[in-house]
Structure 1
Amino acid sequence: MATYSRLIRRLMITSLSIVISRALISPLLTLFLSNKLGLNPQDVGLLLGIAVFSATLLSLYGGYIIDRLDKRQLLILTMLSSGVGLMLLTFAQNLYLVTLVLIISETASALFLICSKAILSENLPVGQRVKAFSLNYTLTNIGYAVGPMIGVVIAGVQPSAPFIVAGLIAAGSVFLLLGVSREVSPLSQASQPQSFLKTLIILKNDRTMILFTLGCLLSTLVHGRFTLYLSQYLLVTHTQEQTLDTMAALLACNAITVILLQYQIGRFLKREHLRFWIAGGTALFIVGLIGFSMADSLVGWCVAMFIFTLGEMIIYPADFLFVDTLAPEELRGSYYGAQNLSALGGALSPVMCGFLLMHTPAPSMFYALSALAALGGYLCFVSGRRVAIIQK
């Protein structure tokens, strides 16, 4: 990390602190909302789905705003919004107010991610971008590995305390970005983007970006919220105690694999071979999913998760590198915002998998996900040809 500028180093540390603030409440949010509002699990899922869906759509316009305004100031605004939103959850009693707070918090989280990607692209040489993103993603997984454990410990003292602590961490992270404004000197000076309508027209006419976003949406159905459909499957096929033990092992396997190998794999990704990397990552997803369907022991589950995680470690930086290659300098935020629409796949995944588990044999869920992964990988591979042409 010492090879990066002060801005990039602080951005990575800020990303880690923001992820920890989100991860603190991740295992507690469903129970907290259920107890606070008296909602059943299905209604809580609907509430969270509405928040994620709204935030994903708003992030499209947010990407356009990121292109027009100072990115450091926008990062600070998203961090303050996220921090205030997390703290307000402990005081909000009304369903509509809670929904509004969740939408603001989720939107701030999405915009922070988009803005971070745009800053990395804008302030790093081409050869360093994917390595920096891989390192940033490794730090993100460290946050998701330690955050939930800290949150559970704090909740044991006071159930609402994790939300206050998470909010303070998010808001306090603002100080990490103070004092670096004068250092922000993009490597390439981009012109101001045109109106939002014209930006949408540019995105609509970019067939390559549309194909890639559709492919990412299908791929995100598989890897976006994989912990949810795995727990759904295990609850159908195993006892509750076995489900908890298996999920704990799988989450540990996923986190350890990413922390140890993500940066090393990211170093080998090259723009000229991008579509082949995406195809390889998709193949690993499919092998991992088939492994899940056949697993009959904890070791089998962990081996399948290791293979699945290898695919995840390829796809995440490859997606970043694809958009970084395709996007015009003045529209990076808008392109990352458009690609973020693929997050809708993560919201749809539990719904689709729940339906399959209710109406088909349980293992067929993994075969359906494998088919979607293959289709998504094919669309990304086809759009990758355009990236190869751009490179030439």
Structure 2
Amino acid sequence: MLAAIKGYPASIRLLLATTFALTVARALTLPYLVVYLAENFQLSIASIGLLVGGALLVASVLSLYGGHLVDTVHNHTLISASTLIFACAFMVAVASRTAWLFFLCLVLINLALAVVDIAAKAGFCTLLPLAQRAEAFAIKYTLSNVGYAAGPLLGVAMLELDDHLPFFASALTGLGTCLAYWQLGDRGLQTTAVTEPSAGFTQVAVSLVRDHRLVCFTVGGVLSAVVFGQFTAYLSQYLVVTSSASEAARLIGYLVTTNAVTVIALQYLIGRRIGRQKLMAWLLAGMALFIVGLLGFAMAGSVVAWCLAMLVFTLGEIIVIPAEYMFIDLIAPQHLRGVYYGAQNLCNLGAALGPMLVGFALGHWWPGSIFYLLMLSVVLAGMFYCLGTRNS
């Protein structure tokens, strides 16, 4: 992977470094966010869930317009501005005295991260030939997982020194990234086709709805994100119901570690091999691995069995996410790549829906039913993927 990164143009390396730095900065506050909200705003767990989940949902919807900005605003200006907003939002968040202001900051943080992410993907498609894009997407996803693995560990270490230090560190990282990109970024990078006439956002949104391939794939992405988007949340819900809270926390720790190690070890090796020619075959393989992993969770009776099921489940995640990137790259017009990738971010709706569906099922049916409900979501996602590729 390092050899591949060294062989990329400087602009690609800087885009990878920028997204990685912001991912680490975002992950620094993750371990303490719930506790911070409870202690500083006296919010209940339910209210905290609504605040954090709501911020992600609002940012995901707004990222559709963020993708439009990627197509219409100069890449260098947009990334520099987004990283500055990211840094300022963290500073305001740590100084805020109301939950609503903190919520707004979380929305801006998530939105700025999404816009930079979309701009990076569009930059890959502009700067790299088709044959190298799958590898670049795999590297980016691997680095993101490294960031989300390392960030919380660094955040916990900072908490030992000061409760607010992770927020300040995130802000400084965002500011440093902004200055670095402003100084070193490619000012000539243009991700849109200059020959295409510009269109307003409303006109673009209408064209997105009319693209049946994008609609099918977005619905499929939402349904698959129900399964892998927040698997730790619904597995925690299941384990708390079927065992003790302490046992659930211990087992979730093993599962998160298994997931992170598997992604970091295998994402690049597998993701770089995903190509356009057999895209549907790869997606179906990923769906099958999700189902096998969910069956493993349903039947697991030991820590080893849970971890083996998580390994298989993670292999599905490793395949599906880069394959989704490749499909968007396949169907997106060159002048609308940003807004198409913004539409892909709507899959976060599925990530938010997963724990809600599982919570309902646990309250009305037997605990193991959640895994069969999730398998149904996988099957439906596969059907919409098939419809999308059949129309491509």
Give the alignment's TM-score, normalised by structure 2: 0.95
Give the superposition deviation at 1:188. Answer: 6.5
Deviations 1:227-263 (A, max 9, x none): 1111111111222222222111111111111111111
**Alignment match, 1:223:** 228
Q: Is the 8 A contact 2:192 2:334 kept in 1?
A: no
Residue in 1 aligned with 2:169?
165
SS at structure 1 position matched to 2:95: coil
Structure 1 position 320 matched with structure 2 position 325: yes
Question: Aligned partners of 1:247, 1:151: CA distance in 2, in Å?
Answer: 19
Q: 2:294 matched to 1:289? A: yes
Could you tell me how far 1:49 is from its partner in structure 2? 2.1
The residue aligned with 2:18 is: 14
1:143 aligns with 2:120: no
CA distance in 1, matches of 2:91, 2:383: 43
Aligned to 2:108: 104
Amino acid paired to 1:138: T
Give the aligned residue type for 1:140: S
Q: Does 1:280 align with 2:285?
A: yes
Question: Could you tell me which of 338, 341, 346 is aligned with 2:346?
Answer: 341
Q: Which amino acid aligns with 2:240?
A: L
| Residue identity matched to 2:72 | R
CA 1:186–1:211: 2 relative to 1, 3 Å:
closer
Q: Percent identity?
A: 39
Quote how far apart the aligned CAs of 1:152 are: 0.8
Match of 1:271, SS?
coil
Amino acid at match of 1:108: A
Q: What is the CA deviation profile of residues 122-169 of structure 1, one whole-angstrom value per residue up to 9, with x for unaligned ones?
A: 111111011001011111111111111111111122111111111111
Alpha-carbon separation, structure 1, partners of 2:106 and 2:278: 40
2:268 maps to 1:266: no
Give the alignment of 1:124-273 within 5 angstroms. 124-177=128-181, 178-182=183-187, 184=189, 191-273=196-278
**1:351 corresponds to which letter in structure 2?**
M
Say yes or no: does 1:2 pair with 2:9: no
> Does the alignment pair 1:34 with 2:32?
no
Taking only aligned residues, the RMSD between alpha carbons, in angstroms, comes to 1.5
- Match for 1:106: what amino acid? N
Instruction: Give the aligned residue type for 1:320.
Output: Y
CA distance in 1, matches of 2:239, 2:163: 27
Amino acid in the other structure paired with 1:193: S
Letter in 2 for 1:355: F
Q: How does 1:32-71 map to 2 (within 5 A)?
A: 32-71=36-75
Unmatched 5+ residue regions in structure 1?
388-392
Structure 2: any 5+ residue segments left out of the alignment?
none
1:7–1:183 contact (8 Å) kept in structure 2? no
Q: 1:340 and 1:185, CA in 2 relative to 1: closer, same or farther beyond 3 A?
A: closer
The answer to whether structure 1 residue 379 and structure 2 residue 384 are counterparts is yes
- The amino acid of 1:321's aligned partner reads M
Q: Which residue of the other structure, out of 119, 128, 134, is the alignment partner of 2:123?
A: 119
Aligned length: 387
Instruction: Quote how far apart the aligned CAs of 1:190 are.
Output: 5.4
User: For the Cα contact (< 8 Å) 2:71–2:191, is it kept in 1?
Assistant: no
206-215 or 96-105: bigger deviation: 96-105
1:359 alignment counterpart:
364
287, 312, 316: which one aligns with 1:311? 316
Deviation at 1:183, TM superposition (A): 5.6
Task: Map Cα deviations across residues 20-79 of structure 1 (whole Å, 9 max, x no partner).
Answer: 111111121111111111000000111112211211111111111110011222112221
AA partner of residue 223 (structure 2)? L
CA distance in 2 between counterparts of 1:287 and 1:227 reads 17
Partner of 1:390: none
Give the whole-Å Cα distance in 1 for the aligned partners of 2:186 and 2:139: 23
Quick one: distance in 2 between partners of 1:188 and 1:327?
12
Matches of 1:43 and 1:224, distance apart in 2: 20
> 1:192 deviation in Å?
4.5
Letter in 2 for 1:163: F
TM-score (norm 1): 0.95
Shift of 1:383: 0.8
The structural deviation recorded for 1:2 is 0.9
Q: Distance between the aligned counterparts of 1:190 and 1:317, measured in 2?
A: 29
